[in-house]
Structure formats: structure tokens, C-alpha cells
């Protein structure tokens, strides 16, 4: 009678430790290097090219084929085709933007002998978590002549880092709401305190501008045309005496980007399959590089055209209708110190495998994409046949939590979509935790689904 009960088990009792460690090392290398979506795109493009993928412009319409397209340096799609695209395609879609702190367009000012930079947070952050930690400035400045200057300060061990400081406890005894104590307009980044010789007004700010000019050949106005982010400087580290977790900035959702990329590279031929790595998920998937945009549809149209289809609009709908999409995003794993926010019967646990989320949304499933029972059964069967560890997860108690990701935008286009990804502890914090088991099982699950759906 025991097999009538739905029971889950921790992967630490089942999986080979060697395989977990090997996969974890590759991931830690990636997540330590890729702290912005631009960095992810160039890392992924490099891996794709080394594995025989070529850009859509080079594609001649034949199969088998390995093709990719970058979009505005901030999103990328890659496919492996074994037959005509018209047969449909299995896709894993993840996002490569993460919560962070951006610089404002006119950031630098001087106050009380200190030069600082104004910031604007991006995505859902608990602001206090970003105070008093080492931050790097990473991104690009584009000059008027169109030349792109790469900025990266704080990532190398010998680099200086930057800090957003707050008040000492002695002067902060008033018991106030966190939203009052940690305000966005107080999130000013300390840049320096050394005045430029012979200057009287704003000598510290001028010295900072001089250093930037010496290093990068830029002036203050150039910062208006820049994508500059502040990201945590700390490298990924193993966590716990047993080293069972990996801590890093940006697991959400680069853990799904990496595992799906590796799954695509390692998967055996036979079906059409691919990955889409979107930008802008953390602010609602808006903008021309997010999941609401059309670049991936344009990519499919180009393939259809090169494969000889005339009425690409009609055939694109047919492709999407025959396609399966794994919306690969992280879920919340239970933090034992805060378990009251979950319905524990329907919550994910660290180390118990990839999390299958049948529906997202909030309250009465508002804004949800819900996978049909038929699709959930198909996914379950594919994972069980390979002994891949999976569990169910919902984002918190009904009427407490909720949320959504790229799933619904792909579902709108007609594909069958289901949400799946590893659970994180401390999601959206500057130092999120993922279990090595859940990392590896996500890779194995995406590979199985690319090959078998
Ligand atoms: Mn996410
Ligand atoms: Mn997120």
C-alpha cells in the first residue's frame, strides 16, 4: 500500500556526489563571471560557437542545423533542428536579468567632502540588503561617436569596490518601518573623498571625473548614455560544513540559463529543440528584449522563410501550436526560519530536485499561466522514466504569495507551457542559495524534456 502515497526524497541519498560536484564547478565558473545580461549573452554565444552553432544570417535552410540569434546584446535564442521547424519545437525559456541597483543617468554629486552616485533599483529588492556590502560597477558607456566602452570595476581581486552605507546603530535607535529606514533616494554609492589639487568647488567630484577620464576616456555627459549596474562583488562560494549549497549573486534566473544551455549542448539529436534567454523579466518582461517582445518570433519566421515556407505568418502559428515550452525560472525553497509563509504540502524543499509549478499568479490565480493536466502528466512521465528528482511547488500560501514569469507570454502565443526550475533560499537577495542537487536535477530535467516532449 505504501506506493499509493506521493513521497519525495532528498537527492543527497540518491545521486552520485562526483557528478554533482563536477557540474557545480562549471556552474560556479559561469555565475562568477556573468553578473549582467550582456555578460551572459557573450558567455552563451561563445559556448554556442564552440559547439558548432552559427548565426541566423549564416543559415541556409537545411537540416540538421544549429542556429542562434543575439538580440540587442541583451537576449539570445538558440535552436538545434533535426527536421523542418513546421513539426514544432521543444523550448526552455529562462531570463538572464537579475535584481540589481542601476546608476541614474546623471549620477555623480559631492556632499560634505565625499563624492557619491545616485542610484535606481531594478526589480524586486529588499533595499536594506544592498547596504554595506561590496559592489562592483559593471556595464557599458557609449560615447557620442558610437564607440562602446566596457566598464568593470570591483570584479578583480585587486580592484577597489563600492559601498552604499547607512547609519550606525547609535544614531538609529528610532523603531521605524524598514520602508522608512531604507529609502531609495538614500541609496547613494560612495565613490571617493580625495580632492583634485588647486580646485576649490567640488574638488572631490572633479577628481573622480578625472580618474574616470584617465581610465576610460569618458566625461560626465557620457554617463547619460550608459547601462551601468551595481552588482555584488563577492564571488560564488560553497556554503555549509557539508558544502551542499552554492551561494552567488544572480541564481535567479541565470541558474536556469546555464542549466538549459548545457542541456541543449549535451542533448542528443532527434527532435527540434532550443532555448530562449530573455531580458527584463524582473520588471514585467516589458521592452524589446523581454518575453513580451517579438524577437524570438522574428527568429522563427526567418527560419521558416529559409526553409521555403511562403506564408510564414500562418506557419508560425502552426509551429507555436505544436510546441512545448518549459518556462524555466526559480521557485522559493522553504527556509525553516520562515516556513509560516508556505503551505508545506505544496512547497519546495532544497535538495529535493527540480520544482514543477503547475500554475503561477496571485489570489484567485490572477495573471496565471496554468499547465494543462495532460502536459503535467507528460512531463511527469518523462522525468520519472529517467529517475530525475522533482517535486511540486507553489509560491507561498494562497492570498499571501504569488508571482509570475515568462510562462504566460509564451502561452499567449499558443504553445503548451509549464513552469519548472530549482528552488532558492534567499531569492532576490545579493547572495542567493541553491542546492547542488537542485542545480544538477534542473539540468537533467531540461535535457530530458528537450529530448522527449
Ligand atoms: Mn526569475
Ligand atoms: Mn526574480
Q: Are residues 132 and 93 in the same domain?
A: no
**Per-residue pLDDT at 200 exceeds 90:** no
Q: How far is the CA of 98 from the centre of ligand 2 (A)?
A: 6
Q: Are residues 228 and 290 in the same domain?
A: no
**Per-residue pLDDT at 18 exceeds 80:** yes
Q: Is residue 243 part of a domain?
A: no
- Whose atoms come closest to the Cα of 123: which ligand? 2
Give the CATH number for residue 156: 2.30.250.10
Burial group, residue 96, by CB count within 10 angstroms (0-12, 13-18, 19+): buried
Domain boundary among 206, 232, 258: 232
Q: Are residues 290 and 438 in the same domain?
A: yes
Q: Looking at residue 367, what is its pLDDT? A: 86
Q: Looking at residue 339, what is its pLDDT? A: 95
Q: Looking at residue 289, what is its pLDDT? A: 96
Q: Are residues 55 and 197 in the same domain?
A: no
- Return the SS3 of 71: strand
Q: Looking at residue 405, what is its pLDDT? A: 87
Q: Are residues 255 and 144 in the same domain?
A: no
Q: Report the C-alpha gap between 155 and 371 in whole angstroms.
A: 41
Q: Tell me what the pLDDT averaged over the chain comes to.
A: 96
Overall average pLDDT of the 154-160 stretch = 97
Q: Report the C-alpha gap between 341 and 350 in whole angstroms.
A: 16
Q: Is residue 271 part of a domain?
A: yes
Q: Are residues 273 and 188 in the same domain?
A: no
Q: Is residue 34 part of a domain?
A: yes
- For 31-52, how does the pLDDT look when each residue is reduced to its tens digit (9 = 90+)? 999 999 999 999 999 999 999 9
Q: Looking at residue 421, what is its pLDDT? A: 98
Q: Are residues 261 and 326 in the same domain?
A: yes
Q: Is residue 315 part of a domain?
A: yes
Q: Is residue 126 part of a domain?
A: yes
Q: How far is the CA of 252 from the centre of ligand 2 (A)?
A: 5
Beta carbons of 77 and 296 less than 8 angstroms apart? yes
- For 162-175, how does the pLDDT look when each residue is reduced to its tens digit (9 = 90+)? 999 999 999 999 88
Q: Report the C-alpha gap between 246 and 425 in whole angstroms.
A: 10
Name the pLDDT band for 401 (thresholds 50, 70, 90): confident
- Of residues 270, 288, 269, 267, the one with CA closest to residue 279: 288
0.95 exceeded by the pTM? yes
**What do you get for the CA distance between the two ends of the chain, in Å?**
31
Q: Is residue 237 part of a domain?
A: no
**Per-residue pLDDT at 203 exceeds 90:** yes
Q: How far is the CA of 99 from the centre of ligand 2 (A)?
A: 7
Overall average pLDDT of the 235-256 stretch = 98
Overall average pLDDT of the 132-147 stretch = 98
Give residue 185's domain range: 100-232
Domain count, the chain: 2
Q: What is the percentage of the chain residues whose pLDDT exceeds 70?
A: 100
Which long-range CB contacts under 8 A does 308-315 form with residues at least 24 apart?
308/61, 309/86, 315/86
**Per-residue pLDDT at 199 exceeds 80:** no
Q: Are residues 226 and 257 in the same domain?
A: no
Residues with CB under 5 A from ligand 1 (ion): 252-253, 329
Q: Are residues 180 and 283 in the same domain?
A: no
**Per-residue pLDDT at 81 exceeds 80:** yes
Cell 504569495, residue located: 401
Q: Are residues 143 and 20 in the same domain?
A: no
Q: Are residues 271 and 218 in the same domain?
A: no
Chain centroid offset of residue 115 CA: 32
Q: Report the C-alpha gap between 106 and 90 in whole angstroms.
A: 44
Name the pLDDT band for 361 (thresholds 50, 70, 90): confident
Domain boundary among 202, 232, 262: 232
Q: How far is the CA of 249 from the centre of ligand 2 (A)?
A: 12
Q: Report the C-alpha gap between 150 and 44 in whole angstroms.
A: 18
Q: Are residues 186 and 277 in the same domain?
A: no
Give the CATH number for residue 85: 3.40.630.10
Q: Is residue 241 part of a domain?
A: no
**Per-residue pLDDT at 360 exceeds 90:** no
Cell 561617436, residue located: 145
Amino acid at each position: 500500500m505504501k506506493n499509493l502515497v506521493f513521497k519525495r526524497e532528498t537527492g543527497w541519498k540518491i545521486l552520485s556526489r562526483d557528478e554533482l560536484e563536477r557540474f557545480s564547478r562549471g556552474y560556479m565558473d559561469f555565475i562568477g563571471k556573468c553578473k549582467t545580461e550582456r555578460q551572459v549573452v557573450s558567455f552563451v554565444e561563445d559556448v554556442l560557437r564552440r559547439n558548432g552553432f552559427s548565426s541566423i544570417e549564416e543559415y541556409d535552410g537545411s537540416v540538421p542545423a544549429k542556429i542562434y540569434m543575439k538580440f540587442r546584446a541583451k537576449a539570445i535564442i538558440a535552436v538545434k533542428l533535426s527536421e523542418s521547424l513546421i513539426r514544432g519545437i521543444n523550448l526552455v525559456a529562462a531570463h538572464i536579468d537579475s535584481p540589481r541597483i542601476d546608476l541614474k543617468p546623471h549620477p555623480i554629486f559631492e556632499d560634505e567632502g565625499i563624492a557619491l552616485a545616485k542610484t535606481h533599483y531594478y526589480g524586486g529588492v529588499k533595499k536594506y540588503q544592498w547596504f554595506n556590502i561590496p559592489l562592483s560597477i559593471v556595464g557599458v558607456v557609449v560615447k557620442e561617436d558610437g564607440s562602446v566602452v566596457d566598464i568593470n570595476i570591483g570584479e578583480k581581486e585587486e580592484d577597489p569596490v563600492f559601498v552604499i552605507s547607512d547609519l550606525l546603530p547609535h544614531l538609529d535607535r528610532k523603531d521605524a518601518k524598514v520602508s522608512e529606514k531604507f529609502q531609495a533616494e538614500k541609496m547613494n554609492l560612495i565613490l571617493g573623498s580625495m580632492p583634485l589639487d588647486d580646485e576649490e568647488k567640488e574638488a572631490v567630484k572633479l577628481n573622480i571625473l578625472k580618474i574616470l577620464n584617465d581610465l576610460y576616456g569618458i566625461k560626465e555627459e557620457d554617463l547619460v548614455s550608459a547601462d551601468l549596474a551595481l552588482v555584488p562583488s563577492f564571488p560564488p562560494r560553497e556554503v555549509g560544513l557539508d558544502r551542499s549549497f552554492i551561494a552567488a549573486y544572480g541564481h535567479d534566473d541565470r541558474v536556469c540559463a546555464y542549466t538549459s544551455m548545457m542541456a541543449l549542448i549535451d542533448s542528443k539529436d532527434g527532435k527540434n529543440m532550443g532555448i530562449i534567454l530573455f531580458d527584463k523579466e524582473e520588471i514585467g518582461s516589458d521592452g524589446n528584449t523581454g518575453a513580451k517582445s517579438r524577437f524570438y518570433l522574428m527568429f522563427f519566421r526567418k527560419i521558416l522563410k529559409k526553409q521555403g515556407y511562403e506564408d510564414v505568418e500562418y506557419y508560425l502559428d502552426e509551429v507555436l501550436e505544436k510546441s512545448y515550452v518549459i518556462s524555466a525560472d526559480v521557485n522559493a525553497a522553504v527556509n525553516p526560519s520562515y516556513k509560516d509563509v508556505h503551505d508545506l504540502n505544496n512547497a519546495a524543499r532544497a535538495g529535493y530536485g527540480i520544482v514543477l509549478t503547475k500554475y503561477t499568479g496571485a489570489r484567485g490565480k490572477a495573471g496565471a499561466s496554468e499547465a494543462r493536466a495532460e502536459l503535467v502528466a507528460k512531463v511527469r512521465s518523462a522525468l520519472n522514466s529517467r529517475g530525475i528528482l522533482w517535486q511540486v511547488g507553489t509560491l507561498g500560501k494562497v492570498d499571501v504569495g504569488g508571482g509570475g514569469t515568462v510562462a504566460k507570454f509564451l502561452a499567449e502565443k499558443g504553445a503548451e507551457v509549464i513552469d519548472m526550475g530549482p528552488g532558492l533560499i534567499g531569492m532576490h537577495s545579493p547572495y542567493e542559495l541553491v542546492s547542488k542537487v537542485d542545480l544538477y536535477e534542473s539540468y537533467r530535467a531540461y535535457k530530458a524534456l528537450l529530448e522527449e516532449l
